[in-house]
Homo-oligomer: A and B are copies of this chain.
C-alpha cells in the first residue's frame, strides 16, 4: 500500500481558531438552507454545537460572517454575508492548492 499525505488547514486570529474544515462546511450548509437549525440537522450536528461554532467565527472575524433574524412567519433565519462567502472561497481555494502541493511533495520524496 502506498503512502499518502493528508493535511488540515485552519485560519487563526490572535491564537484562536477562526475557520477550519468543520466551520466552513457549516457555513456552506447555512448558505444552502438559510437556517442554522436546518444546517446543523443536515450535517448531523447538534444545534448547540453549530451555534457555538458560528458564535466563535463571528466574534473573531474582522467583519460579520452571517446575519441572523429572530421571529416572523418563518421563525427567523441566518444568511451568510458577502464577506463570509469570500472567506469560504479563500479557504477552499487555499486548501485545494495545499493538497496539490503536498501530493507533489510526497511523490518527489519517493519514500519506499
Chain A interfacial positions (CB closer than 8 Å to B): 1-14, 18, 62-63, 86-87, 90, 93-94, 97-98, 101-102, 105-106, 109, 111-112
Contacts and interface: CB of A to CB of B under 8 A. Distances in A.
A106 B11 CA distance: 9
Given A90-B111, A105-B97, A106-B94, A13 B18 contact: no
A80 B6 CA distance: 24
Contacts of A102: 9, 94, 98
Q: So how many copies of this chain end up in the complex? A: 2
Contact of A98 (B10, B13, B98): B98
B5 A94 contact: yes
Contacts of A12: 3-6
Nearest to A97: B105
Contacts of A10: 5-7
A19 B13 CA distance: 28
Contacts of A63: 112
A106 B102 CA distance: 16
B109 A94 contact: yes
